[in-house]
Amino acid sequence: MAILNCAGRMLDLNRVQVMGILNVTPDSFSDGGRLYSANELSLDMALQQAGKMVAAGATIIDVGGESTRPGAEPVSVQEELDRVIPVVEKIVAELDVVISIDTSSAEVITAGAAAGAGLINDVRALQREGALEAAARTDLPICLMHMQGEPKTMQQQPGYDDVVEDISEFLRQRIAACEAAGISSERLILDPGFGFGKTLEHNLTLLNRLEDMHRYGLPLLVGTSRKSMIGNVLNREPEQRLAGSLATVALAVYKGAHILRVHDVAETVDVVRMTEAVKQEKVSEQ
């Protein structure tokens, strides 16, 4: 599997990597507003939280300035820039870690790369105006995620003929669009988009058939942490979903995920390493 060059920091996907979530938003579904003091984003609090995740084993910090929770309203490009770029600059200056920018906006992609981000993580798979061209110019790795609809409406009536095949076809088209724009497939990571325009049944099917997402030979990112699929199965609020999240992590690792995007880094790292040890032992016996 690939070793990605993330703005000079190497990310070895021969081993599962853990991406810590750093939402610099006031309204994300699980941790919105945690980094705010007196309604102002605190750079010191953001750096402290990032540092804790790195110390716990995160090799990527995913910085997001626009909530993509179900029902979320979009924010202006300027507001997103004001939230994200100072945090990226602060972390780059202080911590040895790959910074991912969770954005769909061309302006934020460009400014984030200039600030030192090493990876682009786009829930809209570079479909916003100018995003594809902006991402191509950065030379950074890119995660393409599947989402049916937009965050504000995506959970109203999601439907698929076959959730795995439909997502796979969407991702095939986005890979082709990237290649046509001069983005080599060697720079691409795929995310099936758990919880983004999908019912509980869709999410469970997708996790159960995650092996099918390897058909393009590209690394897979999985983000199930604290999501409603876990709440719906276990009847738990977001802050009570750790055990369920870790169960999905173990399954995802066993089924070949390369990056896990999570809120609870320390616990996830333990589960990842234990699951890898069992998986590698099984391989060595064959």
| CATH code for the domain of 79 | 3.20.20.20
What are the residues whose beta carbons fall under 8 Å from the beta carbon of 178, sequence distance 6 or more?
A: 126, 132, 135, 136, 142, 144, 185, 187, 188
Catalytic residue among 187, 226, 255, 261: 261
What is the domain count for the chain?
A: 1
Task: Residue 76: give the domain boundaries.
Answer: 3-285
Q: Torsions phi, psi of 187, nearest 5? A: -95, 0
Catalytic residue among 69, 174, 226, 227: 227
Q: What is the pLDDT of residues 56-113, one digit of tens each?
A: 999 999 999 887 777 777 789 999 999 999 999 999 999 999 999 999 999 999 999 9
Averages of pLDDT over runs of 10 residues in the chain (286 residues) are 90 97 73 57 87 98 86 84 94 97 97 98 96 98 91 72 96 98 97 94 97 97 96 95 98 98 97 95 62
- Is 227 labeled as catalytic in the residue annotation? yes
- Is 241 labeled as catalytic in the residue annotation? no
Q: Name residue, tokens 């169960």.
A: 247
Q: In angstroms, how far is CA 38 from the centroid of its own chain?
A: 28
Through-space distance between the first and last CA atoms of the chain, rounded to whole angstroms? 20
CA atoms of 151 and 197, how far apart (whole Å): 8
pTM beyond 0.95, yes or no: no
CA atoms of 283 and 242, how far apart (whole Å): 29
